[in-house]
């Protein structure tokens, strides 16, 4: 069935003007929108439309998000805040209704329901603090696959990370049953995106391409630095070189706390960009400075 749908799509694509659409979700860092815009323009080899879903609760921040989008000719969609007050299907008794994870899956699902499920081409879901850092073609990556994603494994439960997922929407059977909700599966707590497990389970014919080679900065710590849970290690230059890291990547990993790369260092995840974990202002000032220094070195 999937192969038939794929064949039909290929025949139609030759006369279709559809574009890949990229969704991201902005809460309180409009500067990240501009960084994503610059890195897409520099490295993304597809014809695409960039859409920002604005979930800010602060009107002043919403104004900044919208003005950034307007200046860069990016489509801006304001998330109705009442969606966060609606009964949430997977909410557990006593759970914080405004927990960042719950807010996150609310906006992802809203974007799919309102726009993504009806799109006639590939839909890319990207975290607001995830940036493209090397040349990449989504359409080439997705040839022969219905889904491309960084997958998370929690015991026997495997699901899609909503922060880096590509969906070939017209070729996904039953795509409106796909949900990125969180909650529990088999009494095991599941993070954002966890309920995509059911879609994968119920549609096993859909080929999924995993976005592999995930590197967290913690992977490269020397033995002394491993005594800390999160850290910046500056004793690992030779190790990083042996992993074919570039000089800008090495400098960045030795100056930025709690960051990660995906797929041959093609995607950089800043992590915690919305400050859901309540870091102080100086923490993000230093981390953002390191990010901008890195981008200055890699952007043309």
CA–CA separation, 122 vs 114, rounded Å?
A: 15
Instruction: Give the pLDDT of residue 112.
Output: 96
CA–CA separation, 291 vs 285, rounded Å?
A: 10
pLDDT for residue 7 is more than 70: no
Burial 75-97 (b: 16+ CB within 10 A, else e): ebbebeeeebeeebebeeeeeee
Q: Are 3 and 261 in contact (CB under 8 A)?
A: no
The mean per-residue pLDDT over the stretch 264-290 comes to: 93
The mean per-residue pLDDT over the stretch 82-92 comes to: 63
Give which of 161, 168, 271 is closest to 216, Cα–Cα. 271
- According to the per-residue pLDDT averaged within each range, which of 122-126, 180-184, 186-190, 260-264 is highest? 122-126
pLDDT for residue 232 is more than 60: yes
CA–CA separation, 147 vs 123, rounded Å?
A: 10
Give which of 80, 75, 124, 76 is closest to 106, Cα–Cα. 80
Positions of E strands within 224-264: 260-262
Q: What is the pLDDT of residues 171-194, one digit of tens each?
A: 999 999 999 988 888 888 888 889
> Is the Cα torsion angle 132, 137, 143, 146 positive or negative in sign?
positive
CA–CA separation, 105 vs 110, rounded Å?
A: 8
Q: Are 167 and 108 in contact (CB under 8 A)?
A: no
Q: Are 29 and 129 in contact (CB under 8 A)?
A: yes
241 CB-side CA count, 13 A: 6
For 2-210, give the CATH class.
alpha beta
The mean per-residue pLDDT over the stretch 218-237 comes to: 81
Q: How many residues does the chain have?
A: 300
CA–CA separation, 49 vs 64, rounded Å?
A: 20
Work out the pLDDT band at 86, boundaries 50, 70, 90: low
Domain boundaries, the chain: 2-210, 214-262+270-298
Work out the pLDDT band at 219, boundaries 50, 70, 90: confident
Q: Are 228 and 237 in contact (CB under 8 A)?
A: no
Mean per-residue pLDDT of the chain: 88
Instruction: Name the CA radius of gyration of the chain, rounded.
Output: 19
Least confident of 101-110, 134-143, 243-252: 101-110
> What is the pTM assigned to this prediction?
0.88
Q: Are 61 and 92 in contact (CB under 8 A)?
A: no
pLDDT for residue 90 is more than 50: no
195 CB-side CA count, 13 A: 17
Instruction: Give the pLDDT of residue 4.
Output: 44
Give which of 141, 203, 201 is closest to 171, Cα–Cα. 203
Q: What is the pLDDT of residues 189-217, one digit of tens each?
A: 888 889 999 999 999 999 999 997 778 88
The residue among 92 and 133 whose pLDDT is bigger is 133
CA–CA separation, 35 vs 49, rounded Å?
A: 15
Beta bridge partners of 21: 49, 123
Instruction: Give the pLDDT of residue 178.
Output: 96
- According to the per-residue pLDDT averaged within each range, which of 39-53, 153-167, 272-286 is highest? 39-53
Q: Are 109 and 181 in contact (CB under 8 A)?
A: yes
Q: Are 65 and 26 in contact (CB under 8 A)?
A: yes
First to last CA, the chain: 43
């Amino acid at each position: 069935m999937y192969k038939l749908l794929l064949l039909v799509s290929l025949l139609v694509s030759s006369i279709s003007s559809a574009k890949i659409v990229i969704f991201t979700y902005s809460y309180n860092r409009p500067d990240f929108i501009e960084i994503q815009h610059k890195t897409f323009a520099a490295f993304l080899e597809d014809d695409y439309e960039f859409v920002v879903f604005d979930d800010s609760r602060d009107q002043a921040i919403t104004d900044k998000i919208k003005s950034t989008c307007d200046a860069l000719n990016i489509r801006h969609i304001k998330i109705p805040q009442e969606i966060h007050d609606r009964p949430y299907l997977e909410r557990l008794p006593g759970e914080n209704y405004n927990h960042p994870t719950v807010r996150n899956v609310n906006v992802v699902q809203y974007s799919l329901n309102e726009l993504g499920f009806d799109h006639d081409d590939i839909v890319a879901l990207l975290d607001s603090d995830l940036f493209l850092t090397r040349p990449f073609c989504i359409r080439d990556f997705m040839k022969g696959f219905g889904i491309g994603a960084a997958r998370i494994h929690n015991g026997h439960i495997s699901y899609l990370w909503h922060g880096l997922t590509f969906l070939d929407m017209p070729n996904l059977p039953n795509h409106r049953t796909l949900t990125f909700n969180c909650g529990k599966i088999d009494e095991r707590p599941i993070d954002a995106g966890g309920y995509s497990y059911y879609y994968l389970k119920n549609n096993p014919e859909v080929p999924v391409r995993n976005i592999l080679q995930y590197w967290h900065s913690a992977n490269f710590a020397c033995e002394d630095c491993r005594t800390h849970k999160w850290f910046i290690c500056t004793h690992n230059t030779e190790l990083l070189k042996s992993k074919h890291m570039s000089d800008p990547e090495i400098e960045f990993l030795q100056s930025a706390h709690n960051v990660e790369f995906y797929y041959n260092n093609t995607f950089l995840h800043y992590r915690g960009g919305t400050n859901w974990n309540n870091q102080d202002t100086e923490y993000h000032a230093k981390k953002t400075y390191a990010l901008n220094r890195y981008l200055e070195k890699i952007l043309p």
